[in-house]
Amino acid sequence: MIRQPTVDEIIAYIDLVTSGMLERPHMYATSPESLEGLFHYFELFRAFTATGSRVSRYQDFCVKAGLGSSNFSTRGAVDRGEAIPHATREEHQPLIAFLRKYLKEEGRLNESPLF
């Protein structure tokens, strides 16, 4: 019989994946917009797994940061009709800094890099 992971193990795995996304964003997404979308999906899955909530605290963080209902990477890009195809790690840095700030506020930032 296959052992099912516990809720804590699933949450730890989600945290491991999102930490990896911050360390090597270009390996997970081709643009900051897609990386943030993926990050937000993981946050929704984490919230549902942890508490049954269908609301991510990340969106609340964006509102608190003055972004309104927009995400960090889409606030200006949508208005300009642009996206950054195949972004490099350097092009992801403003978003990575914003996501690290969120994870720090949530008490989930692992200060040591994964890779």
Domain ranges of the chain: 7-105
The pLDDT value recorded for residue 4 is 94
The pLDDT value recorded for residue 70 is 74
In this structure, the number of other CB atoms found within 10 A of the CB of residue 56 comes to 19
In this structure, the number of other CB atoms found within 10 A of the CB of residue 46 comes to 23
pTM for the full predicted model: 0.72
Percent of the chain with pLDDT over 90: 38
- Please calculate the CA angle 30-73-8 and round it to the nearest 5 degrees: 80
Q: Is 97 exposed, middle or buried (0-12, 13-18, 19+ CB in 10 A)?
A: exposed
Q: Is 8 exposed, middle or buried (0-12, 13-18, 19+ CB in 10 A)?
A: exposed
Q: Would you say the C-alpha torsion 9, 54, 99, 31 has a positive or negative sign? A: positive
- Enter the tokens of residue 69: 């209902």
- Between 88 and 102, the more confident residue is 102
- Enter the tokens of residue 81: 């009709």
